[in-house]
Amino acid sequence: MKTFLAALVATTALVTPAYAELALERDELKFGFIKLTDMAPLAVAYEQGYFLDEGLFVTLEAQANWKVLLDGVIDGQLDGAHMLAGQPLAATIGYGTQAHIITPFSMDLNGNGITVSNAVWDAMKPNVPVMDDGRPQHPISASALKPVVEDYKAEGKPFNMGMVFPVSTHNYELRYWLAAGGLNPGYYSPENISGQIDADVLLSVTPPPQMPATLEAGTIDGYCVGEPWNQAAVFKGIGVPVITDYELWKNNPEKVFGITAEFAEENPNTTLAVTKALIRAAMWLDENDNANRMEAVKILSQPEYVGADAEVIANSMTGTFEYEKGDKREVPDFNVFFRYNATQPYYSDAVWYLTQMRRWGQIAEPQPDSWYDEVAKSVYKPGVYLQAARLLVDDGLANEADFDWESDGYKAATPAADVIDSIGYDGRTPNAYLDSLPIGLKGDQTVVGTEVKG
C-alpha cells in the first residue's frame, strides 16, 4: 500500500492553480491495481507527485485478482482502479455483474504476449518459418500450433491455456490468435459460461502473477498475459513467448482506469483532477523516446507495485522483448502509454471489445450497430478526457498538438496490414466486422447446447 502521509500537513504551497480552480469534491481517494507493468500511470502519478499537484491524497493498493478489484470499485471500497478494458463494458451490460462503470482514461496500448511451454514450443518449431540467421520469423501464426493441438487430441489429451479473466483483453487476444490460425477457442452460452463449448483449445482463468508457476507445474500448456509474466517465463527457462499483441494487432487498446458512473456524477471536478494527473503520468512515461523508462522500471520493481526483478520488467518496458533466451529484439512500442493518442478513450476501442463478446457468445443475442455505439458512449468518456487535457494545455503542462480534439470518438479504421489475419476493423460497422471473421458467431447465430445455430 502507498499513501500520502503528507495529506495531514499539506499546505496551500502544494496546491496548483488548476486545483484551486477545480474545487475538489473529494481529496482522499483509494485506487486499486493488479501487479502488471501497465499499472504504471498510477504508480508514476503517485511517485512524481502529479496526484498531489491536483490536491489529491491517494492510496494505491494491489488487489488479489480482477474480480476482487471490480467488486471493490462497485461496492465503494475502492474509488477507482486499473481495469481490464472489458470490465466496465461487461458490468454495464450486465455480463457477470451489473454496475454502470465508466472510463475517462485509457491506460495504454499493447503490452501483452502469448507464451507456450518449452515442450509445446519444441513441437511447434518445425512449423515456424525461419529467417536467414536461423531465428524464428515473427509474427508466429497459431497455424504452427494447430498440428500440436491435433496431436494432443489424437492422444486423448486436452490442450489447456490460461488467460486472466473472461472479459480480459488477454482472453480475446488469445482467442483471436487461435482462430486466425484455424483453431476454435470455444463458445460461451447463458447456460455454460466456461467458454469451452466446441473448443479445440480449452481456456481457463489464471491470475497474472501465477501464470509462470502454473505453466511450470504443467497445469496449462501456454497462456496470454501482460508483462512481466511473459518475460518471467523466459528468465525462469520454462516457456517461450511466441507472439506479442503488438504483432497480433498493432497498437491495440489495453487497460483502462475505471470508476462508477455515480462517482463521476457526484465528483466531476475530482474526476477531472484524477484524469489530469494520469495524463501527466502517461506523458512522462513516453516523453523523449522513453527516456524515463528505466526510472519507471525502478518504481515498478518495488514490492508494493509489481514486485518483479527490475531486470525482468526492463526486458519489455525499455523497448525490447525477449522470445527465446538470447533472442532479444527491438520492440519500441511494446508498451505505449501516451503517443498515438493512447490515453484517449475511443468509442471504437469499446466497440471492438463488444464485438469479441458477441463473437464468442458472451453477448448471446445479435444486436444492431446502434446498440454497440450506445453502449460504447455510455462507458467511454472522451469528453471528460479532453476537458482534463484542455486544463493541462491551458496550464502549460501539455501540448495542444498531442490530443485528438476533432475526433467524433471513433478512430480511423484499422488497416488489414496491422492485424495478424489481415482482416481490418472499423468500429462504426461492428456487424459487418463480425461477418468478416471466419470463426465466431455472426448474424443471427446463437449457441444452443453444444452447437451454433442459425
Residue 118 and residue 215 in one domain = yes
Instruction: Pick the closest to residue 412 from 400, 401, 428, 423 (CA basis).
Output: 428
Residue type (1 letter), 238: I
Residue 123 and residue 245 in one domain = yes
Residue 94 and residue 37 in one domain = yes
Q: What was the pLDDT predicted at 8?
A: 30
Query: Residue 194: inside a domain, yes or no?
Result: yes
Residue 69 and residue 146 in one domain = no
H helix or E strand, kind and range, residue 178: helix 169-180
pTM for the model stands at 0.94
Q: What was the pLDDT predicted at 20?
A: 44
Residues near 432 by beta carbon (within 8 Å), at least 6 away in sequence = 426
Query: Residue 421: inside a domain, yes or no?
Result: no
Q: What was the pLDDT predicted at 31?
A: 98
Residue 76 and residue 167 in one domain = no
Domain count, the chain: 2
Q: What was the pLDDT predicted at 21?
A: 73
Query: Residue 10: inside a domain, yes or no?
Result: yes
Query: Residue 418: inside a domain, yes or no?
Result: no
Query: Residue 286: inside a domain, yes or no?
Result: yes
Q: Show the cell assigned to 310.
A: 527490475
DSSP string, 348-391: HHHHHHHHHHHHTTSS-S---HHHHHHHHHHHB-HHHHHHHHHH
Contacts 24+ apart (CB under 8 A), 307-310: 307/35, 308/35, 308/228, 308/232, 309/235
Axis-axis angle for helices 347-359, 369-379 (nearest 10): 120
Query: Residue 46: inside a domain, yes or no?
Result: yes
Q: What was the pLDDT predicted at 1?
A: 52
Residue 33 and residue 96 in one domain = yes
Residue 21 and residue 83 in one domain = yes
The ranges of the chain with pLDDT < 50 are: 2-20
Query: Residue 87: inside a domain, yes or no?
Result: yes
Residue-range definition of the domain harbouring residue 149: 112-251+442-453
- CATH number of the domain enclosing 100: 3.40.190.10
Instruction: Pick the closest to residue 347 from 387, 392, 407, 299 (CA basis).
Output: 407
Residue 73 and residue 189 in one domain = no
Q: What was the pLDDT predicted at 373?
A: 98
CA dist., res. 121 & res. 41, Å (int): 34
- In the chain, the percentage of residues whose pLDDT exceeds 70 is 96
Query: Residue 359: inside a domain, yes or no?
Result: no
Residue 266 and residue 215 in one domain = no
Residue 341 and residue 393 in one domain = yes
pLDDT digits (tens, 9 = 90+) for 360-381: 999 999 999 999 999 999 999 9
Residue 227 and residue 90 in one domain = no
Residue 180 and residue 162 in one domain = yes
